[in-house]
Amino acid sequence: MIEKTLAIIKPDAVKKNVIGKIISRIEDEGFKITAMRLAKLTKDEAKGFYIVHKDKSFYIPLTDYMSSGPVMLMRLERENAIGHWRKVMGATDPAKAEPGTIRRLYGFSIESNATHGSDAPETAEWELNYFFKG
Protein backbone atom coordinates (compact mmCIF):
# COMPACT_ATOMS: atom_id res chain seq x y z
CA MET A 1 0.00 0.00 0.00
CA ILE A 2 1.35 3.41 -0.96
CA GLU A 3 1.71 5.58 2.13
CA LYS A 4 2.66 9.19 2.72
CA THR A 5 4.96 10.49 5.42
CA LEU A 6 6.37 13.84 6.47
CA ALA A 7 10.14 14.18 6.35
CA ILE A 8 12.00 17.23 7.61
CA ILE A 9 15.64 18.05 7.06
CA LYS A 10 16.32 19.81 10.35
CA PRO A 11 18.35 23.02 10.88
CA ASP A 12 21.63 21.27 11.76
CA ALA A 13 21.63 19.31 8.49
CA VAL A 14 20.64 22.35 6.41
CA LYS A 15 23.54 24.28 8.01
CA LYS A 16 25.88 21.39 7.23
CA ASN A 17 25.02 21.64 3.50
CA VAL A 18 23.75 18.08 3.20
CA ILE A 19 20.24 18.75 1.81
CA GLY A 20 21.38 17.30 -1.53
CA LYS A 21 22.92 14.18 -0.03
CA ILE A 22 19.79 13.47 2.01
CA ILE A 23 17.48 14.03 -0.99
CA SER A 24 19.66 11.70 -3.11
CA ARG A 25 19.30 9.02 -0.47
CA ILE A 26 15.52 9.56 -0.35
CA GLU A 27 15.35 9.03 -4.14
CA ASP A 28 17.67 6.02 -4.01
CA GLU A 29 15.37 4.46 -1.40
CA GLY A 30 12.49 4.59 -3.87
CA PHE A 31 10.49 7.47 -2.39
CA LYS A 32 8.69 10.01 -4.57
CA ILE A 33 8.92 13.55 -3.25
CA THR A 34 5.43 14.91 -3.95
CA ALA A 35 5.71 18.22 -2.09
CA MET A 36 8.73 20.14 -0.83
CA ARG A 37 9.26 23.55 0.73
CA LEU A 38 12.15 25.31 2.46
CA ALA A 39 10.80 27.13 5.50
CA LYS A 40 12.01 29.01 8.55
CA LEU A 41 9.64 27.94 11.31
CA THR A 42 8.54 30.45 13.89
CA LYS A 43 8.87 29.41 17.52
CA ASP A 44 5.08 29.05 17.65
CA GLU A 45 5.01 26.83 14.53
CA ALA A 46 7.70 24.60 16.05
CA LYS A 47 5.79 24.45 19.35
CA GLY A 48 2.57 23.53 17.53
CA PHE A 49 4.32 20.84 15.51
CA TYR A 50 5.85 19.21 18.59
CA ILE A 51 2.82 19.71 20.84
CA VAL A 52 2.82 15.96 21.70
CA HIS A 53 6.11 16.60 23.52
CA LYS A 54 4.89 19.66 25.45
CA ASP A 55 5.46 18.03 28.84
CA LYS A 56 8.96 16.74 28.05
CA SER A 57 12.02 18.40 29.55
CA PHE A 58 13.41 18.95 26.04
CA TYR A 59 10.33 20.72 24.59
CA ILE A 60 11.63 24.29 24.91
CA PRO A 61 15.20 23.62 23.67
CA LEU A 62 13.80 21.40 20.89
CA THR A 63 11.46 24.11 19.65
CA ASP A 64 14.23 26.75 19.93
CA TYR A 65 16.45 24.51 17.81
CA MET A 66 13.72 23.76 15.23
CA SER A 67 13.10 27.49 14.78
CA SER A 68 16.82 28.42 14.73
CA GLY A 69 17.30 28.18 10.95
CA PRO A 70 15.75 26.92 7.73
CA VAL A 71 14.32 23.43 7.43
CA MET A 72 13.29 21.44 4.34
CA LEU A 73 9.76 20.06 4.59
CA MET A 74 8.91 17.13 2.32
CA ARG A 75 5.98 14.83 1.60
CA LEU A 76 7.37 11.38 0.72
CA GLU A 77 5.39 8.59 -0.93
CA ARG A 78 6.30 4.92 -1.19
CA GLU A 79 5.09 1.52 -0.12
CA ASN A 80 5.45 1.43 3.70
CA ALA A 81 6.75 5.02 3.58
CA ILE A 82 6.42 5.66 7.32
CA GLY A 83 8.32 2.59 8.50
CA HIS A 84 10.85 2.68 5.70
CA TRP A 85 11.75 6.34 6.25
CA ARG A 86 12.20 5.74 9.99
CA LYS A 87 14.48 2.79 9.20
CA VAL A 88 16.56 4.89 6.78
CA MET A 89 16.83 7.69 9.41
CA GLY A 90 17.88 5.37 12.23
CA ALA A 91 17.44 5.77 15.99
CA THR A 92 16.67 9.17 17.54
CA ASP A 93 20.14 9.36 19.10
CA PRO A 94 22.73 9.42 16.27
CA ALA A 95 25.22 7.64 18.55
CA LYS A 96 22.83 4.68 18.77
CA ALA A 97 21.70 4.72 15.12
CA GLU A 98 22.90 1.92 12.82
CA PRO A 99 25.92 2.67 10.61
CA GLY A 100 24.79 4.04 7.25
CA THR A 101 21.57 5.60 8.55
CA ILE A 102 21.00 9.29 7.95
CA ARG A 103 21.11 10.21 11.63
CA ARG A 104 24.34 8.28 12.11
CA LEU A 105 25.87 9.89 9.03
CA TYR A 106 24.70 13.49 9.53
CA GLY A 107 23.22 13.90 13.04
CA PHE A 108 25.11 15.76 15.73
CA SER A 109 23.25 14.90 18.97
CA ILE A 110 20.01 13.40 20.29
CA GLU A 111 18.43 16.82 19.72
CA SER A 112 20.21 17.93 16.52
CA ASN A 113 19.63 14.66 14.71
CA ALA A 114 19.38 15.75 11.06
CA THR A 115 15.88 14.58 10.13
CA HIS A 116 12.31 14.01 11.24
CA GLY A 117 9.88 11.29 10.19
CA SER A 118 6.27 10.65 11.17
CA ASP A 119 5.76 7.60 13.38
CA ALA A 120 2.26 6.29 12.44
CA PRO A 121 -0.47 6.78 9.81
CA GLU A 122 -2.49 9.11 12.08
CA THR A 123 0.50 11.30 12.96
CA ALA A 124 1.63 11.36 9.31
CA GLU A 125 -1.77 12.67 8.26
CA TRP A 126 -1.79 15.26 11.04
CA GLU A 127 1.81 16.37 10.33
CA LEU A 128 1.30 16.58 6.55
CA ASN A 129 -1.81 18.63 7.09
CA TYR A 130 0.13 20.89 9.48
CA PHE A 131 2.61 21.90 6.79
CA PHE A 132 1.00 21.05 3.45
CA LYS A 133 -2.76 21.11 4.08
CA GLY A 134 -3.26 17.51 2.95
- The option from ligand IDP, Mg ion, none interacting with 58 (CB < 5 to 8 A, set by class) reads ligand IDP
Nearest approach, Cβ of residue 112 and ligand IDP (Å): 7
CA 107 vs. chain centroid, Å, equals 12
Nearest approach, Cβ of residue 35 and ligand IDP (Å): 20
Give dist(CA 108, CA 74) in Å, integer.
21
Q: Which of 83, 124, 129, 91 is nearest to 109 (CA)?
A: 91
Give dist(CA 17, CA 111) in Å, integer.
18
- The option from ligand IDP, Mg ion, none interacting with 87 (CB < 5 to 8 A, set by class) reads none
116 is catalytic: yes
Window 33-72: residues binding Mg ion (CB under 5 A): none
**Residue 10 vs 78, nearer CB to ligand IDP:** 10
Q: Binding-site residue total for Mg ion (CB under 5 A)?
A: 1
Stretch that binds Mg ion, among 34-42, 56-64, 96-104, 111-119 (CB under 5 A): 111-119
Active-site residue, from 116, 117, 118, 124: 116
Nearest approach, Cβ of residue 43 and ligand IDP (Å): 15
For 65, residues 6+ apart whose C-beta sits below 8 A from its C-beta are 10, 11, 12, 111, 112
Catalytic residues: 116
Residues that bind Mg ion (CB under 5 A): 119
